[in-house]
Amino acid sequence: MKILGLYAGDAAPARTADLVAVAWDESAERARRGPDSALRTVSQVLGPEAAHEVDGAAVRWTKEWGRRPLLDGRSFRDLYSWKGVSLWWFAEIFLHHSTEATRFVRVIETVHRLLDVEAPDEVEAHGLPEDEALLVARTCLARGVLFHRGAVRRARHPSVADVLRLDFVRTARAKGLSSRTVYRRHVLANILPSLVVLFALSLPGLLAGSIFVESVFAWPGLGRATLAAILARDYPVVMGATVFYAAAVIVANLAAELALPLLDPRRESA
């Protein structure tokens, strides 16, 4: 199984035979350690002309956006005019230089090219900004490639195996404590806070996913009722469901923040 890893900032890849590690930004490129580094730059994978081709794709997207019909079959070029003179060129300059639209296009185009060249079975993203990681995930979904986000993987750390190798666990074993006591008093105390944070971060996705799961499998529930209300334009039901989902996310995050000091007393002193 071939894995394509995208690394930004100071995220460091592990050396594995099935991993193709790519430095996503300049910070990751500067962090490379000599020619034997596991990281390769995007230009090394796609070729030296890839950056110009990606920029050209962003320019083409800006031009094509102005030609798309918006109102009564008329494009933005036709609608955005003053005294018969099209002002589209000002909007094009604004879109290209003053908004994030072209950056998003570059991200999507780069991911498509990496998938074409490497043809991976899975894609991992480590250290990418929130918006870019979301674009990578949506692009992989459109291409039918499994995506793993590095932030979620970091939220699971420290793992049980990592904690068992720490000094204080070895000290507890050396004192003659039983395995049950070591796991209950030392290992779980360091594992549970990260699991609580992971649950709080995963809840919005679980609630949003209930709409699709209940609709696909015809299960009665709030998600299916919300989708039916959207299709029927029943705005009070939609607003009520939105408030409920938002309140559930807020309560879950609040509960996680209140539970962390109980699971890890060191947070109280901090």
Q: Tokens at residue 168, please?
A: 């204080």
Q: Are both 128 and 178 inside the same structural domain?
A: no
Domain boundary among 109, 136, 154: 154
Q: Are both 261 and 166 inside the same structural domain?
A: yes
Q: Are both 142 and 169 inside the same structural domain?
A: no
Q: Are both 145 and 195 inside the same structural domain?
A: no
Q: Tokens at residue 108, please?
A: 């999507």
Q: Tokens at residue 48, please?
A: 């030296």
Q: For residues 14 and 21, give the distance between their C-alpha atoms in angstroms, rounded to a whole number.
A: 9
Q: Are both 229 and 245 inside the same structural domain?
A: yes
Is residue 186 within 8 A of residue 165, CB to CB? The reply is no
Q: Are both 69 and 165 inside the same structural domain?
A: no
Beta-strand relationship, 146-149 and 3-7: unpaired
CB under 8 Å to 77, separation ≥6 — which residues? 66, 67, 86, 88
Q: Are both 125 and 253 inside the same structural domain?
A: no
pLDDT of residue 269: 54
- Radius of gyration of the chain from its Cα atoms, rounded to whole angstroms: 25
pLDDT of residue 114: 92
**Dihedral angle over CA of 80, 86, 90, 93, nearest 10:** 100
pLDDT of residue 99: 77
Confidence of residue 221 (pLDDT cuts 50, 70, 90): confident
Confidence of residue 152 (pLDDT cuts 50, 70, 90): very low
Domain boundary among 125, 154, 183: 154
Domain boundary among 93, 128, 154: 154
Residue, of 9 and 146, whose pLDDT is higher:
146
pLDDT of residue 12: 63
Is residue 32 within 8 A of residue 39, CB to CB? The reply is yes
CB under 8 Å to 175, separation ≥6 — which residues? none
In which residue are the tokens 């039983």 written? Answer: 178
Q: Are both 112 and 178 inside the same structural domain?
A: no
**Residue 257 is part of which domain span?**
160-269
Where helices occur in the chain by DSSP H, the ranges are 26-30, 42-46, 50-67, 76-79, 88-98, 101-118, 130-143, 150-156, 160-164, 167-174, 179-182, 188-216, 222-231, 235-263, 266-269
Confidence of residue 34 (pLDDT cuts 50, 70, 90): low
pLDDT of residue 111: 92
Counted domains in the chain: 2
pLDDT of residue 113: 92
Please say if the pLDDT value at position 156 is more than 50: no
Q: Are both 80 and 124 inside the same structural domain?
A: yes
Reported pTM: 0.52
Q: Are both 140 and 172 inside the same structural domain?
A: no
Q: Tell me 100's DSSP state.
A: S
Q: Are both 193 and 263 inside the same structural domain?
A: yes
Summary mean pLDDT of the chain: 79
Q: Are both 126 and 204 inside the same structural domain?
A: no
Please say if the pLDDT value at position 238 is more than 50: yes
- Tell me how crowded residue 43 is: count the other CB atoms within 10 A of its CB: 13
